[in-house]
Structure 1
Amino acid sequence: MVEIKTPSELTAMREAGRVVARALAAVRARAAVGVRLAELDEVAASVIADAGAKPAFLHYQPGFAPSPFPAVICASVNEVIVHGIPDASRLRDGDLVSIDCGAYLDGWAGDSAISFTVGRAEVADAALVSACERALAAGIAAAVPGNRMGDIGAAIARGAAEGGYGIMEDFGGHGIGRKMHEDPGVPNRGRPGRGMVLREGMALAIEPMFTAGSGRYGVLADGWGLHTVDGSRAAHTEHSIAVAPTPVVLTAL
């Protein structure tokens, strides 16, 4: 079931989104060569707690996961695409890092992700992140009433094709609201003019995930992290948005 949010509900979601945005900004500011991934998790946890919010990822266990998620953020480094568990490993110069974060505030969810390089960025990594960010912007721009879900997927896939990047076929965005994951699914590949009609008030999390290689992925031993099979690097960007004549980004800082 796809829920249409009222203006007051979207205002509440915007506040949850601001908490997530502040947490991601704090994590990015703390990330540096030599910093442990677990430290970044502590930074996000502190921001969320100070806001009177609750982390959405901690103890979350979707159907594919063998165990509840043990952290506040997903921290995916280099060939890890998404769902990386932050641990005691330290960031190295040139690491490409993707941070995904979610929070609940007053019963409403926000969900967003960023990718960036620590230290000296490789040209190819910077191009990958920029392409993923542009694809996110294109997907958001397509989220207007009367368009269809395939228009969002087509806009994202076009960005991947232009850069020669891979896309994971089985993972994409989702609806969001009282729960972090709601209907409908939001694909990262689609056909223009096909799929569900977008209605004003829909709240969606749009999240391109690009790989520098084929897009084929495997699962890490922890059962959570997804990594590129060919060892190529990956980027992940995400915003929660409201469908409107001018789409509203709910997780902007």
Structure 2
Amino acid sequence: MTTTPHYKPGDVANGHVLTQDGQWVPLAGSAPQPPNPYEASPRDPRPEPKNGLAVAALIIGVVGLVLGLIPLTGWLAIMAGFTAVVLGFVAWQRKRKGRATAGKTALSGVVSGALAIVMGVVGMVMFFNVVDDVSDDLDDITDEPEVVTVTEGEAFTYDGFQADAGWKIQEDEFGTPTITSFRVTNVDHEDALEGDDAEAPMFTIRLYRGDENVGEITATGNEIAAGQSTKMESYSTTEGGWTGFDTIKVDEMF
């Protein structure tokens, strides 16, 4: 049988002294006592790993890939890609520090985000190229060349083509007007200068007596690139009444 010791005020045990009111208080300057191995000590729980950033990076990266497939939403794909890369990198750092476990998910988010950025940039370039091409086509349709008044036999430039001097308007065997010695050079046509398809010159030569249009001549040539020349062939359906004209105007064919 174990005998329980009895203490009275002033007694000292384990670096503590018993007070008059029965409380044990530590002695001044006493060294801390080692913990009792038989006493239960609280266990510090380790924090649970947090993988939310890695999952978010992967989801946003996949969304960015989908947006990158649509040229019009390329800028959204770029934004989503950057976000996925940043979140994935932060999640990967948390994995290295032991505060997360989804390392592969974080890496997948970084990769998908980077691909989304590339696809977004390519899509935006394609979109702006298409817009630029459409704008050029609309300009070609809406920007009609101005009518040019010319003098018979003198050189002139119209719609990017320069006519050589020496051309003449004469009457053919059917009594209709025609143009002889008519040759043009492609001097600055935009499509030809950019290396696209060659362009064919097509003019309508209108003859006026005062304000009256007394005859028309259509002149066409072969397709030529910048710097090349072609002989113009002309024909007219005007029969009689066109002689005595005093003004010549060059207009587009259609």
TM-score above 0.5, yes or no: no
Give TM-score scaled by structure 2 length: 0.18
Q: Which has the higher contact order (CA 8 A, sep 6+)?
A: 1
Larger Rg computed on CA atoms: 2
Greater per-residue helix proportion: 2
